[in-house]
Amino acid sequence: MASKITQVTFLHLILVCSSCLACFAIFSLIGGHMVFCSQESPWKEADEGLLVAEFESNLKTDSVAFSITAIKIDPKNYSFKLLCATENDKEKHTAKEWSEKHKLLLAVNAGMFQEDGLTSVGYMKNFKHVNNSRLSRANSILAFNPTGEDIPEIQLIDRECQDFNILRQKYHSFVQSIRMISCDQQNVWTQQNAKWSTLAVGMDTDGNILFLFSRTPHSVHDLIDILLSLPLSLKTAMYLEGGPQASLYLSTPKMTLERNGVWEGFEESGSFQFSLPIPNVLGVVRKPRAKS
């Protein structure tokens, strides 16, 4: 059975530093919560207003070992796109192929899909194109491409705190999936025994969008506890995909990253060291720069 993060008075951990990792000082696990004592920012600039951080523990135990990639995006500088195979060529592509074909800086899964290999599990709509018209019971919906200027360009809607019937009139693009962190910053995922790599989207307290990728398999409940303990200022988060299908591809003049997921037990075997084709992606492109 998956062990939960246990209460420890003082357990010092040292973050592993490498060429792609930001160097952190010692942090402690106190009362089940990781408290960072960082003296250096973990964020590296991939592009203006687009930052990348790598968080990794070196405590190789079942409870708190992790390797997490976080990408923070300022919506003032970037636009978000929903690309669906059902709206394009009916063909699935890897995140890298989607990115290269549509000139994206970043591409990630736009949620889970059904057995037909094309249709989203939750509600999915992009302007006039509807991939799935059915609103499921899932409580999180990423909404973007606003219809006017009086609302945020993108937001992660919590259906238990906000009226989606009103908000659905204010955006053109929607991706619905399972809520991980509620509007009051609570872990709302039931504990499970199964573990896998996970891709999620979140929003921080400053309104930035974060794509969060954990290659290390965890139960989602335990992963949420870790994410809430990291210096991310997470306000809310939504599950996108897990296992080998979970994909992330970033390419800017300063940096290229590619991340692919695994099931528990395969992370050290070399299996799934390649990207699987996916039918729907969330893409990020830079807004036109103002002329000086």
27, part of any domain: no
Q: CA 64, CA 56: separation in Å to the nearest integer?
A: 10
| Per-residue pLDDT, 33 | 40
227, part of any domain: yes
pLDDT tens figures, 266-286: 665 555 567 899 999 999 999
pTM: 0.85
Specify the residue for token string 């995909």: 241
Specify the residue for token string 């070992």: 65
30, part of any domain: no
pLDDT tens figures, 68-101: 999 999 999 999 999 999 999 899 999 999 999 9
Q: CA 81, CA 144: separation in Å to the nearest integer?
A: 8
| Per-residue pLDDT, 158 | 98
The count of domains in the chain is 1
Which pair of tokens denotes residue 3? 């062990």
Segments forming the whole domain that contains residue 282: 44-286
DSSP 243: G
5, part of any domain: no
160, part of any domain: yes
Instruction: Give the closest residue to 228 by CA, choosing from 180, 263, 275, 281.
Output: 180
| Per-residue pLDDT, 62 | 46
**Which residues in the chain come in under a pLDDT of 70?**
1-39, 58-64, 265-273, 290-292
Q: Torsions phi, psi of 226, nearest 5?
A: -65, -45
235, part of any domain: yes
19, part of any domain: no
The answer to whether the Cα torsion of 127, 84, 117, 187 is positive or negative is negative
DSSP 195: -
